[in-house]
Structure 1
Amino acid sequence: MEGAPLPRGCVSIATAVDTKMGECCDLAGVAVDFRPPVPTRGTDWMATVTLCDRSRALPETSLTIRIFRPNMELLPEIKSDSDLILIRRVKMVKYNGRLLAMSTFDTSWIISYAPTHPKGMPLIASYPSSLKIKADEMAYFQGLRVWWKSRREPYVSKGAAPGVNSLSQLSGSSGQRRKPGLIRDMQIGSFYDLAGVVVKTFPGNGNYTVYLTDYTKNPMLHCYESGGSRRIGAGGDDDDFDYTGRGRGFGNQDWPGPWGQYTLQVTLWDNHAVAANRLFYVGAHVSLQNVRAKRNGDGKLEGTLNGDRQFPDKVLVSRINNMDDPRVKQIAIRCKQYTRRFESDKLRFEEEMRAKMEAKLAEPRREELERKERKVGVNVNIRALKTNQPITPMSEIAEPRDLDGPFANRIYKICCKVIDYLPQQLEDFAVPPVPQTEHSEWTWRFALLVEGEDGATLRVIVEGHDAVYLLGRPAADLRADRRELSALREKLFILWGNLEEVKDQQLRIKTPGKNETSQSDSLAEPRRGKKRRRRRNTKQKQVAHKEFKYDELGRRSNAERDADEDESQDESEGSAIHQLSGKMFEACLKEYGILSVDGQWKRLHRLCGTVIL
Structure 2
Amino acid sequence: MEPPKGFMTVEKALSANAKSTIVLTDPSIKDNEYGIKLSFFSKMEFQVSDISSSDLIVLRSVRVQMNSNNISLITTKSPMSEIHILKSASIPRDASFRKPLQWKSTSPSSKSSYLLPSSNEISYAVWAFSKAEEMYLPTDQEFQEKTVQAMNVKDKFTLLSDVSAGETNQYAKYYDLVGQVIKIFETSHGFVELQFSDYTPNSHFYDHTYEENTSNDENHDSYGYGNKSSDEAEDRSWKGPFGKFTITITAFAENASQARSMEAGQWCLLKNVRICTGDAGTLEGKIHSDRGRVLIQALDTNTEPSLVDPRLKEALRRKKDHWKTFNKRQTQKSQHVQTTKQNTSTSKKIRQEAEQKATVGLNENVRCSYPDEPIIGIREILQPEKIMVQSSGKTLWAPFTNRKYRANVRVVDYFPHRIEDFAIARRVTEYEALSDHSSGEDSDDNNTRGQGNHGRFASKVVWEWRFALQVEDAQAKNGEDRVWLLVNNSQAQGLLGLDDDASNLRLNPQLVQNLRNQLFHLWGDLEERIAAGLPREDDDIPPSTDESFLSATSQTRRAGDQPDADDSDNELDTTTNTPLSAQSGAATGQTSTDPVTAHISTNEGKSDVAPRNKPFTCCIQQYGIQLSEKDPSKANAGNGKRWQRIFGIHGTTIPA
Q: TM-score range by the shorter chain?
A: 0.3 to 0.5
TM-score with structure 2 length normalisation? Answer: 0.43
TM-score with structure 1 length normalisation? Answer: 0.45
